[in-house]
């Protein structure tokens, strides 16, 4: 391998290494109101077309995690009908609930979230995410 090829390869590997080590953390959207705070985290960040993991965290006004809730997410594109997705998020512990989503195209999507607490109280929050 000549010197030019070696330098080129070293530069390419350095760029790839920086991309891996500097990859962004999950995207977070917080909604608060009343006695509870709902936080939506998407992974990857920014959310991309294809399969993404959506995690909703439920906290009370004291910042304590709310477990044993039922979290349902309805997912729809806001600008055109791309078919609806919905599902019950799986409890992850510590007030977190996760659901896999499949965003079929780029653009704005609404994640309508309904959280039903043990006492029957329902919390509703719509999150808008822009798929890249």
Residue pair 52/42 in contact by the 8 Å Cβ criterion: yes
pLDDT for the residue 10: 46
What is the per-residue pLDDT for 83?
Answer: 84
pTM: 0.76
131: number of Cβ within 10 Å:
19
With CA atoms as reference, report the closest residue to 96 among 42, 126, 59, 123. 59
> What's the longest Cα–Cα distance across the chain?
71
Q: pLDDT tens digits for 63-105?
A: 999 999 999 999 999 999 888 899 999 999 999 999 999 999 9
């Amino acid at each position: 391998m000549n010197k030019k090829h070696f330098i080129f390869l070293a530069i390419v590997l350095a760029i790839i290494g920086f991309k891996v080590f500097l990859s962004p953390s999950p995207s977070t959207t917080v909604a608060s109101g009343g006695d509870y705070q709902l936080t939506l985290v998407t992974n990857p960040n920014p959310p991309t077309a294809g399969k993404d993991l959506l995690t909703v965290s439920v906290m009370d006004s004291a910042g304590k995690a709310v477990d044993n809730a039922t979290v349902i997410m309805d997912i729809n594109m806001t600008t055109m009908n791309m078919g609806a997705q919905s599902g019950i998020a799986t409890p992850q512990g510590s007030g977190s609930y996760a659901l896999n989503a499949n965003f079929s195209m780029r653009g704005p999507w609404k994640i309508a979230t309904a959280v039903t607490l043990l006492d029957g109280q329902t919390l509703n929050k719509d999150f808008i995410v822009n798929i890249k």
